[in-house]
Amino acid sequence: KLFANENTVKRLKEIGASGRVVWDGQCKGGLIEGAGVLRQEVTEKAGGRTKTSVVLYSGTSRKGLRHGVSS
């Protein structure tokens, strides 16, 4: 689990419905903790083609709150 503002949580749920959201790092007490990467991946079909978009947030987290930058 991670903590975020309401808009971020809503967007992550939308991404999760048509793709996936994965934390590549450790968890402590069920919350993201320490160094890691939050990967948001969405696959969409348009005009007979499949498009995959990926956003990576790398950095650290503490007690479910992430700190880092997107790429």
Task: In whole angstroms, give the CA distance from residue 33 to residue 44.
Answer: 31
Phi-psi region of 8 (alpha: psi -120 to 50; beta: other; left: phi over 0): alpha
Give which of 8, 22, 31, 25 is closest to 59, Cα–Cα. Answer: 25
Task: In whole angstroms, give the CA distance from residue 5 to residue 68.
Answer: 16
- The answer to whether residue 11 scores a pLDDT higher than 80 is yes
pLDDT given at position 70: 55
pLDDT given at position 14: 83
Q: Are 57 and 68 in contact (CB under 8 A)?
A: yes
Q: Are 42 and 18 in contact (CB under 8 A)?
A: yes
- The answer to whether residue 8 scores a pLDDT higher than 70 is yes
